[in-house]
């Protein structure tokens, strides 16, 4: 009985990771219906773990489930981005401030490697890999803040934040500029300058928002 439970949870996680990546990357476009039978064929997993994975995605806001049982990928709205921006502006600069004094050596190495890899991906124009590394960079800083409540709040928002961060990285010229901002944030953390790290993270998020507004503000919420 216990073995079956563990196996079911493993399959659920595999399906969740698969669908999560497909949605956040845009391979499954906003508004598209997710059909359990099709997912079962693609993954070789039965429908029960798929349903559990969908429930998890629904709780994160990446899919919507209609009363009739239909499942569709979350369709982004400009208003939602504004509200998420407000949350990021409150949480991530605080995380950067505390990470500067609380980050351990292992986390320092991980963040340094992340910055180096991002610079390499910018030079190679490897956008998809850069998106993954950008999400990793921000997560490492939140984790290094050492504040479990801050980490919990960011984990709850992480999927939607990644969705919008990827949209910003699709905007021309933001890739190179964002990489420079990440490097500056890392340098402040490395030098244990919490105030500078906080201000640089705040400016970075504000710049993301400015780019997003310039690209998408003319689009109505129901046109996404």
**Do 172 and 123 share a domain, yes or no?**
yes
Residues 6 or more apart from 29 whose CB is under 8 A from it? 73
Q: Using pLDDT thresholds of 50, 70 and 90, give the confidence band for residue 215.
A: confident
**Do 110 and 150 share a domain, yes or no?**
yes
Q: 129 pLDDT exceeds 50?
A: yes
Contact in structure between 220 and 204 (CB atoms under 8 Å): no
pLDDT tens digits along 34-86: 999 999 898 888 888 899 999 999 988 889 888 877 899 988 778 888 899 99
User: How far apart, in whole angstroms, are the C-alpha atoms of residue 84 and residue 115?
Assistant: 24
Q: 221 pLDDT exceeds 60?
A: no
User: How far apart, in whole angstroms, are the C-alpha atoms of residue 174 and residue 180?
Assistant: 10
If one counts the domains in the chain, the total is 2
Provide DSSP, 206-220: HHHHHHHHHHHTTS-
> What six digits make up the tokens of 106?
């292992």
**Do 83 and 142 share a domain, yes or no?**
yes
How distant is the alpha carbon of residue 148 from its chain centre? 18
**Nearest residue to 74 (alpha-carbon basis) of 43, 40, 34:** 34
**Do 82 and 66 share a domain, yes or no?**
no
pLDDT tens digits along 183-195: 999 999 999 999 9
Domain of 33, CATH number, reads 1.10.10.10
Domain housing 35: 2-73
* pLDDT number for residue 26: 76
Average pLDDT over residues 168-178: 82
User: How far apart, in whole angstroms, are the C-alpha atoms of residue 20 and residue 196?
Assistant: 34
**Do 126 and 151 share a domain, yes or no?**
yes
**Do 24 and 85 share a domain, yes or no?**
no
Which helix (DSSP H) or strand (DSSP E) does residue 108 occupy?
helix 105-124
Q: 223 pLDDT exceeds 50?
A: no
| 64 phi/psi in degrees, rounded to 5 | -120, 140
pTM of the model: 0.79
């Amino acid at each position: 009985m216990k073995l079956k439970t563990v196996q079911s949870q493993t399959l659920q996680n595999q399906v969740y990771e698969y669908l999560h990546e497909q949605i956040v990357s845009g391979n499954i476009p906003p508004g598209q219906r997710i059909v359990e039978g099709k997912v079962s064929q693609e993954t070789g997993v039965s429908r029960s773990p798929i349903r559990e994975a969908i429930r998890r995605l629904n709780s994160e806001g990446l899919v919507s489930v209609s009363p009739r049982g239909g499942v569709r990928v979350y369709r982004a709205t400009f208003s939602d981005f504004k509200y998420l921006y407000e949350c990021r502006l409150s949480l991530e600069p605080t995380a950067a401030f505390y990470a500067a004094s609380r980050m351990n050596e292992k986390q320092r190495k991980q963040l340094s490697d992340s910055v180096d890899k991002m610079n390499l991906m910018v030079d190679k124009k490897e956008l998809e890999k850069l998106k993954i590394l950008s999400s990793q960079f921000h997560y490492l800083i939140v984790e290094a803040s050492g504040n479990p409540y801050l980490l919990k709040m960011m984990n709850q928002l992480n999927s939607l934040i990644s969705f919008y961060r990827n949209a910003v990285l699709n905007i021309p010229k933001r890739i190179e500029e964002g990489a420079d901002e990440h490097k500056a944030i890392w340098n402040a953390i490395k030098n244990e300058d919490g105030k500078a790290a906080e201000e640089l993270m705040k400016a970075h998020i504000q710049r993301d928002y400015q780019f997003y507004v310039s690209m998408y503000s003319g689009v109505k919420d129901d046109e996404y």
